[in-house]
């Protein structure tokens, strides 16, 4: 009887230790995907990545976190509160430099690169009735520039500086997410919104179907004043309802970023699955059409994660 009891206790102890082992292993493979607001491009792509990683990485448990995007994401990565994040290239560069004005407490030295993905287009859109057609027309008007110290707001500061303007030139500055900005324009409580996102972002599509809009140009000369990592691009005619002409603007590359506490194997799998699942990502948002492994290392402002580096070497993209 005692032997049977001893066996039962021993079996229980083994089961308990195995249970703890399983929990521990799974905890090591927990992947929190840091995105942005739910009406932007980061979020649907993050949801798709979460599904891809959940199915493709053995033992991984994934979740998607909506955030204020680039700056918050990078600070969270530094704190180990996420495993992979979307961020704008200029934000990543400023994070590595420890630019306090941009919202970083110091040099974020734990950040590691996964891949350059698609470009963010700086899209300034105004209601037609506001009369805003150029950057100069924004003087005295109300504009939402994104959440304070977000990647979008850093873009707004750069655009204004290049155009020789300041926030003080505006009638009112709002610091709001994309969807809230659009709702205010619809309700005639805001004249314009500046949104840094992939082409065809849901918030601006929603606005353009609700009322007539003007897409405001950022001239090439102004973009060249800012310099790298900004480049001059065109928002093609027809991107949004009522947009009948191509519009010049600036673009900044987006990056997927991780941190040095993520295992080499997990970072390798995250990189590999990213490029093996482009159809699924494109189905989530058309911006993913621009993701190209041949351009994945272009302009990388931080060191690559060794796991990502292994993938690029295997793919013949890095010697």
Burial level of 20, CB count in 10 A (0-12/13-18/19+)? exposed
Instruction: State the pLDDT at residue 14.
Output: 38
Least-confidence region, from 16-20, 48-52, 83-87, 165-169: 16-20
What's the CA angle centered on 142, arms 138 and 143, to 5 degrees? 80
Least-confidence region, from 20-24, 142-146, 263-267, 289-293: 20-24
Taking only the tens place, the pLDDT of each residue in 100-118 is 999 999 999 999 999 999 9
Range(s) within the chain of domains with CATH label 3.40.190.10: 29-118+254-314, 120-252
d(CA 64, CA 36): 10
Mean pLDDT of the chain: 91
Instruction: State the pLDDT at residue 7.
Output: 42
Find the Cα–Cα–Cα–Cα dihedral 233, 196, 309, 94, rounded to 10°.
Answer: 110
Least-confidence region, from 83-87, 151-155, 257-261, 303-307: 151-155
Centroid of chain to Cα 225? 24
Taking only the tens place, the pLDDT of each residue in 148-180 is 878 899 999 999 999 999 999 999 999 999 999
Query: What 3-state DSSP class applies to 225?
Result: helix
With 60 as the cut, is the pLDDT of residue 3 above it? no
* Mean pLDDT confidence for 198-205: 92
Instruction: State the pLDDT at residue 175.
Output: 96
Query: What proportion of the chain, given as a percentage, has pLDDT over 90?
Result: 83
Q: Can you identify the CATH homologous superfamily of domain 29-118+254-314?
A: Periplasmic binding protein-like II (3.40.190.10)
For residue 17, count other CB atoms closer than 10 A to its CB.
Answer: 10
d(CA 137, CA 126): 10
Which CATH topology does 120-252 take? D-Maltodextrin-Binding Protein; domain 2 (3.40.190)
With 90 as the cut, is the pLDDT of residue 218 above it? yes
The band of 19, judged by pLDDT with boundaries at 50, 70 and 90, is: very low
* Mean pLDDT confidence for 291-296: 95
Instruction: State the pLDDT at residue 151.
Output: 87
Query: What 3-state DSSP class applies to 144?
Result: strand
The band of 129, judged by pLDDT with boundaries at 50, 70 and 90, is: very high
The band of 18, judged by pLDDT with boundaries at 50, 70 and 90, is: very low
Instruction: State the pLDDT at residue 305.
Output: 98
The band of 28, judged by pLDDT with boundaries at 50, 70 and 90, is: low
The band of 39, judged by pLDDT with boundaries at 50, 70 and 90, is: confident
């Amino acid at each position: 009887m005692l032997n049977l009891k001893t066996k039962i206790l021993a079996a229980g102890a083994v089961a308990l230790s195995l249970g703890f082992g399983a929990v521990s292993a799974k905890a090591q493979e927990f992947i929190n995907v840091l995105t942005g607001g739910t009406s932007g491009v980061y979020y649907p792509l993050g949801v798709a990545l979460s599904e891809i990683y959940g199915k493709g990485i053995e033992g991984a448990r994934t979740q998607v976190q909506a955030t204020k995007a680039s700056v918050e994401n990078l600070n969270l990565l530094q704190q180990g509160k996420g495993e992979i994040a979307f961020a704008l290239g200029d934000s990543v560069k400023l994070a590595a430099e420890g630019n306090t004005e941009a919202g970083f407490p110091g040099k974020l030295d734990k950040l590691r690169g996964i891949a350059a993905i698609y470009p963010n287009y700086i899209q300034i859109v105004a209601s037609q009735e506001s009369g805003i057609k150029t950057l100069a027309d924004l003087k005295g008007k109300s504009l939402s520039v994104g959440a304070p110290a977000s990647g979008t707001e850093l873009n707004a500061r750069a655009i204004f500086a290049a155009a020789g303007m300041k926030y003080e030139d505006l009638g009112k500055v709002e610091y709001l997410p994309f969807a809230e900005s659009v709702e205010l324009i619809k309700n005639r409580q805001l004249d314009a919104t500046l949104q840094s996102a992939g082409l065809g972002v849901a918030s601006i599509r929603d606005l353009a179907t609700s009322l007539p809009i003007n897409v405001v140009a950022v001239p090439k000369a102004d973009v060249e004043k800012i310099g790298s990592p900004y480049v001059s691009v065109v928002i093609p005619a027809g991107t949004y309802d009522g947009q009948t002409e191509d519009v010049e603007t600036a673009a900044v590359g987006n990056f997927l970023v991780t941190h040095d506490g993520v295992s080499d194997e997990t970072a390798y799998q995250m990189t590999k699955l990213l490029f093996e699942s482009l159809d699924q990502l494109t189905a989530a948002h058309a911006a993913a059409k621009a993701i190209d492994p041949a351009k994945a290392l272009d302009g990388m402002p931080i060191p690559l994660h060794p796991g990502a580096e292994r993938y690029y070497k295997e793919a013949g993209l890095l010697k």
